[in-house]
Amino acid sequence: MNSSTPLGQEKERTSVRALLASNWIEILAVPVASAIMEAQPILLAMQLLVPHLFGPDSLVPDAGSVILLLLGLHWWQMGVQALRQRRGPLKRNGLVSSLSGLFLAAVIIALTHVWHLDNTPLLFLFIGLLIWSWKRSEDRVREGLSSEPLIMVFKIGFCVLLLVMGFALLQIWDNALEIALARALPLFFLSGLIALSFTTIGKIQKEQAQHMVEGGKRQDVTGSWVTGMTLVWVAVVLAAIGLEAIPLDSTAALLQPVWWALGQLAIGLLYVLGFLINGALYGIGIFLLLGSTIYTFFFPGSSSTQTKQEGVVETKLDLTKLAQSSNGHQPLLLWQIIVAILIVLAVVLIAMTLKKRLRKDSVVVESEEEEVREQLDRAAILRQRRQEQKQGNNDSLELVALTPGSARARYRDFLLSMASKGSDLVRQEHETPTEYQKRILTLAHSSSRAKDGTSPSDAEILSELTEAYARERYGGKYLDNERQHYLTTWLPQLMRHLMETVRSVTLPGQDTPGTPGQSIAHTTGKAPARPTRRSGWEDY
């Protein structure tokens, strides 16, 4: 008996460590990386458009203010959500807390930029950033650790970066845009990679923590990956701080060797490309010259072909000379942008090829499954289906095993308790959880207000139970510690109040014997209705 205690303590410690690791990722790693990623396209877009809209001397918000604004409002919304989970779903107080975060951010911006309050364009830019950051933080907290919104933001930001690169290639604006682009590109891609990687790692660690709580074995598959991504995350954060603290001139001086290396690489690629094209043109010219010689040998009177061939050879493209002349006169930025675009195109082509190959493999697997299915005996398939149907009818009261304490298990206990009061309180087969919630509160005549000011009302507790069940059943999101504590504390009160106030109502047109107020199950002597396999409730 003593050997089981250390094992249980070890499982509990392991699950706690996994929860702390996933919470660190969700609270610190992903918000910081995503804020750095989202700030880069915003800063480049403002630096590109503001001088044309408000004048060349107009100021734009600095990178530190934009990143801290996105990050601060995200953390504020996370705190509001945690408070809402602890006190229950109080929508009015949640909205007030969310708006108070917006007001606090506006006050901080006004205090830190008090000497620029008379600058109307900068003031409008900060107001737009405030509204966008507040709305974006609400969406991110509502979505949780989800990679789809991050991928969408990454795609939009990548399009903005390509647009800015196009304008920098045309050299319409000054050198400041090029320096900002050089700083934003590595930060955007590295922070986006880190945010997406940490999102996936956080999901895996949450599933691992849930598995350990359910009594599973420890299987840490993210240890080394988390360590490596954490080191890269720290490097990106330090780089963002350093690039913000270092002036533009110093940044340009530090990046000059990098741009020189990229320029030399671009010139080398142009040399190779020019050599290949010139060789191909020489081959075509020799072939045409040989053809014209043979033609004039058999037809001596025709000399127009030879003249035309000489014109073709004289007007061929010499890209090697073009590269040599451009090395001394054209700036290296053109070749740097060309190299960047070629790299992006190569990555896109590789991604499209891999996607096509994966799709082809899936089609091959599906076709193989179809071939196997076609080779099966039709009579054997029908016989197996009849046996499964017969077994399902015999085991109609068998329910799928659920994890004790989960939202689905609590919701199933609630359904069985309501079914024990009468058949009218059984959840119907085609009734949604929200519809059943409204009907059960109507039949129970439950008060919409709590008996005291500290405990939530029955309607709020039932709404929280229904939302938790829907998130776990259809979204795969399990209960966190706050919601688990909330349901453990207040769900018995809901069951007790409903059992005290519920009254069975006879179906319309049905004359049920017995005294008034007596349930149908009591008058008929039958067991209360339960979720069955045939009704489609076996997975509740």
User: What integer is the mean pLDDT of 3-9?
Assistant: 45
User: What integer is the mean pLDDT of 396-416?
Assistant: 73
Residues ≥6 apart with Cβ < 8 Å to 525:
none
- Count of domains for the chain: 3
Q: Which amino acid is at 504?
A: S
Residue 464, pLDDT above cutoff 50:
yes
Tens digits of residue pLDDT in 296-353? 776 665 444 444 444 444 444 444 454 444 444 444 555 556 656 666 677 777 777 7
- Which tokens hold the place of 163? 């647009």
Whether residues 305 and 193 share a domain: the answer is no
Q: How many Å apart are CA 206 and CA 219, to the nearest integer?
A: 12
Domain membership flag for residue 501: yes
Q: How many Å apart are CA 206 and CA 479, to the nearest integer?
A: 11
Residue-level pLDDT at 375:
53
Question: HSE of 73 in the Cβ direction (CA atoms, 13 Å)?
Answer: 30
Q: How many Å apart are CA 91 and CA 170, to the nearest integer?
A: 51
Please name which of 50, 45, 39, 48 lies closest in space to residue 122, comparing C-alpha atoms.
50
- Which pLDDT band holds residue 368 (cuts at 50, 70, 90)? low
- Which pLDDT band holds residue 363 (cuts at 50, 70, 90)? low
The secondary structure of residue 61, as a DSSP letter, is: -
Phi and psi at residue 364, in whole multiples of 5°? Answer: -65, -40
Q: How many Å apart are CA 87 and CA 89, to the nearest integer?
A: 7
Residue 44, pLDDT above cutoff 80:
yes
Whether residues 113 and 38 share a domain: the answer is yes
State the Cα angle at 18 between 4 and 97, rounded to 5°: 125
pTM of model > 0.75: no
- Which pLDDT band holds residue 389 (cuts at 50, 70, 90)? low
153 vs 143 pLDDT, higher one: 153
- Which pLDDT band holds residue 366 (cuts at 50, 70, 90)? low
How large is the angle between the packed helices 407-419 and 481-501, nearest 10 degrees? Answer: 0
Per DSSP, helices labelled H in 246-314 are: 248-298, 304-314
CB 108 within 8 A of CB 73: no
Residue 183, pLDDT above cutoff 70:
yes
Whether residues 137 and 169 share a domain: the answer is yes
- Which pLDDT band holds residue 201 (cuts at 50, 70, 90)? confident
Our measurement of the distance from residue 419's CA atom to the centroid of its chain's CA atoms, rounded to an integer in Å, reads 40
Average pLDDT, the chain: 70
Whether residues 37 and 92 share a domain: the answer is yes
Residue-level pLDDT at 461:
82
Last residue of a domain, one of 301, 324, 358: 358
CB 523 within 8 A of CB 512: yes
Residue-level pLDDT at 396:
46
CB 319 within 8 A of CB 279: no
- Which tokens hold the place of 226? 């988390």
3-state secondary structure of 406: coil
Please name which of 153, 156, 183 lies closest in space to residue 47, comparing C-alpha atoms.
183
Domain membership flag for residue 133: yes
CB 487 within 8 A of CB 410: yes
User: What integer is the mean pLDDT of 97-124?
Assistant: 82
User: What integer is the mean pLDDT of 398-427?
Assistant: 75
Residue range of the domain that includes 16: 7-245
Whether residues 198 and 276 share a domain: the answer is no
Residue 222, pLDDT above cutoff 70:
no
Residue-level pLDDT at 1:
40
Range in 144-148, 181-185, 446-450, 462-466 the model is least confident about: 446-450
Residue 158, pLDDT above cutoff 80:
yes
- Which tokens hold the place of 391? 């077994």
Whether residues 47 and 88 share a domain: the answer is yes
Domain membership flag for residue 383: no
Whether residues 29 and 85 share a domain: the answer is yes
Please name which of 168, 99, 169 lies closest in space to residue 130, comparing C-alpha atoms.
99
Cα–Cα separations (whole angstroms), residue 287 to 281, 290, 323? 10, 5, 27
Cα–Cα separations (whole angstroms), residue 342 to 245, 334, 338, 480? 31, 12, 6, 46
Residue-level pLDDT at 423:
63
Per DSSP, helices labelled H in 174-222 are: 175-213
Whether residues 82 and 203 share a domain: the answer is yes
- Helix-then-strand count for the chain, H and E: 18, 0
Domain membership flag for residue 378: no
3-state secondary structure of 49: helix
Last residue of a domain, one of 358, 373, 395: 358
Tens digits of residue pLDDT in 484-538? 778 888 888 787 777 776 654 434 444 433 333 333 333 333 444 444 433 444 4
Whether residues 290 and 217 share a domain: the answer is no
Residue-level pLDDT at 49:
84
How many CB atoms are located within 10 Å of the residue 390 CB? 10
Our measurement of the distance from residue 310's CA atom to the centroid of its chain's CA atoms, rounded to an integer in Å, reads 61
Cα–Cα separations (whole angstroms), residue 40 to 16, 218, 357? 36, 40, 33
Q: Which of 190-204, 244-258, 280-294, 324-338 has the highest mean pLDDT?
A: 190-204
526 vs 284 pLDDT, higher one: 284
> 């001139």: which residue's tokens?
249
Burial 341-376 (b: 16+ CB within 10 A, else e): eeeeeeeeeeeeeeeeeeeeeeeeeeeeeeeeeeee
Q: How many Å apart are CA 401 and CA 44, to the nearest integer?
A: 54
> 């409730």: which residue's tokens?
537
96 vs 368 pLDDT, higher one: 96
Whether residues 176 and 87 share a domain: the answer is yes
Residue-level pLDDT at 193:
84
Domain membership flag for residue 220: yes
Whether residues 203 and 324 share a domain: the answer is no
Whether residues 126 and 239 share a domain: the answer is yes
Q: How many Å apart are CA 410 and CA 468, to the nearest integer?
A: 10
Report, in angstroms and rounded to the nearest whole number, the Rg of the chain calculated over CA atoms: 35
Domain membership flag for residue 363: no
Residue-level pLDDT at 342:
66
Domain membership flag for residue 321: yes
Domain membership flag for residue 402: no
User: What integer is the mean pLDDT of 171-191?
Assistant: 75
Please name which of 150, 124, 138, 101 lies closest in space to residue 50, comparing C-alpha atoms.
124
Q: How many Å apart are CA 209 and CA 216, to the nearest integer?
A: 9
Last residue of a domain, one of 187, 213, 245: 245
Cα–Cα separations (whole angstroms), residue 279 to 55, 259, 270, 324? 51, 30, 14, 18
